[in-house]
Amino acid sequence: MTSSPTTATSPGTVTVIGAGLAGLAAAVRATALGRPVRVIEAANQAGGRCRSFHDTVLDRVIDNGNHLILGANTGVFDFLHEIGAQNALTPLDPPDFNFIDLSADMSWTLRPGVGRLPWWLLHPHNRIPGSRLADLRDAYRLATASEDATIADCVDPAAPLFERFWQPLARAILNTDATEGSAQLLWRVIRETLLTGAAGSRPYLAAKGLSAALVDPALDHLRQRGVSVSFGTRIRGLEAEHGRAKALVTSGGTIEIAPEDTIILAIPPSEAQALLPDLTVPTETRPIVNLHYRVESGLRLPGGVPFIGLVGSEAQWVFNRGDILSVTVSAASALAAQSAEAIAATVWAELARVTGAPGTPIPPHRVIKEQRATIAQTPAQLRLRPPAGTRIGGLFLAGDWTDTGLPATIDGAIRSGFQAAEMAASGN
Ligand SMILES: Cc1cc2nc3c(=O)[nH]c(=O)nc-3n(C[C@H](O)[C@H](O)[C@H](O)COP(=O)(O)OP(=O)(O)OC[C@H]3O[C@@H](n4cnc5c(N)ncnc54)[C@H](O)[C@@H]3O)c2cc1C
CATH, residue 37? 3.50.50.60
Instruction: Name the pairing type of β-strands 307-311 and 97-101.
Output: parallel
Whether residue 245 is found in the same domain as residue 385: yes
Residue 322 belongs to a domain: yes
Q: Which of 53, 410, 418 should be mutated for ligand 1, with most atoms under 8 A from CB?
A: 410
Per-residue pLDDT reduced to its tens digit, 266-323: 999 999 999 999 999 999 999 999 999 999 877 899 999 999 999 999 999 999 999 9
Residue 3 belongs to a domain: no
Whether residue 363 is found in the same domain as residue 311: yes
Q: Report DSSP state, residue 4.
A: S
Whether residue 399 is found in the same domain as residue 279: yes
Of 353, 347, 307, 305, nearest to 329 by C-alpha is 347
Of 106, 107, 105, nearest to 97 by C-alpha is 107
The pLDDT-based confidence of 183 (bands split at 50, 70, 90) is very high
Buried b (16+ CB within 10 A) or exposed e, 378-407: bbebbebbbebebebebbbbbbbbbbbebb
Helix or strand or coil: residue 411? helix
For residue 344, the domain's CATH number is 3.90.660.20
Whether residue 279 is found in the same domain as residue 385: yes
Final residue before a domain boundary, out of 161, 178, 201 = 201
Whether residue 400 is found in the same domain as residue 274: yes
Per-residue pLDDT reduced to its tens digit, 311-332: 999 999 999 999 999 999 999 9
Whether residue 190 is found in the same domain as residue 42: no
Instruction: Name the pairing type of β-strands 97-101 and 106-110.
Output: antiparallel
Whether residue 244 is found in the same domain as residue 270: yes
Residue 418 belongs to a domain: yes
Whether residue 190 is found in the same domain as residue 168: yes
Whether residue 257 is found in the same domain as residue 396: yes
SS in 3 state form for 26-50?
HHHHHHHCCCCEEEECCCCCCCCCC
Final residue before a domain boundary, out of 201, 226, 254 = 201
Whether residue 277 is found in the same domain as residue 383: yes
State the average pLDDT over residues 176-201.
96
Final residue before a domain boundary, out of 162, 177, 201 = 201
Per-residue pLDDT reduced to its tens digit, 253-264: 999 999 999 999
The pLDDT-based confidence of 123 (bands split at 50, 70, 90) is confident
Instruction: Name the pairing type of β-strands 395-397 and 262-265.
Output: parallel
State the average pLDDT over residues 376-397.
97
Residue nearest atom 8 in ligand 1 by C-alpha distance:
67
Residue 119 belongs to a domain: yes
Residue 95 belongs to a domain: no
Residue 324 belongs to a domain: yes
Domain residue limits at 354: 285-374
Whether residue 21 is found in the same domain as residue 159: no
- Tell me, what's the pLDDT at 428? 63
What's the 218 CA to ligand 1 centre distance in angstroms? 15
Whether residue 211 is found in the same domain as residue 238: yes
Asked whether the predicted pLDDT for residue 201 surpasses 60, the reply is yes
Residue 384 belongs to a domain: yes
Overall number of domains in the chain: 3
Q: Establish whether residue 63 lines the binding site of ligand 1, counting it when its CB lies within 6 angstroms of any ligand atom.
A: no
Q: Establish whether residue 67 lines the binding site of ligand 1, counting it when its CB lies within 6 angstroms of any ligand atom.
A: yes
H-only helix segments in 115-155: 134-143, 151-154
Asked whether the predicted pLDDT for residue 119 surpasses 90, the reply is no
Atom of ligand 1 nearest to the CA of 236: 41
Q: Establish whether residue 288 lines the binding site of ligand 1, counting it when its CB lies within 6 angstroms of any ligand atom.
A: yes
Asked whether the predicted pLDDT for residue 146 surpasses 70, the reply is yes
What's the 23 CA to ligand 1 centre distance in angstroms? 10
Asked whether the predicted pLDDT for residue 9 surpasses 60, the reply is no
State the average pLDDT over residues 387-403.
97
- Tell me, what's the pLDDT at 6? 35
Residue 353 belongs to a domain: yes
State the Rg of the chain over Cα: 22
- Tell me, what's the pLDDT at 10? 46
Q: Which residues contact 377 (CB under 8 A, 6 or more apart)?
A: 174, 175, 176, 181, 182, 185, 407, 408
Q: What's this model's pTM, rounded to 2 decimal places?
A: 0.96
Q: Establish whether residue 19 lines the binding site of ligand 1, counting it when its CB lies within 6 angstroms of any ligand atom.
A: yes
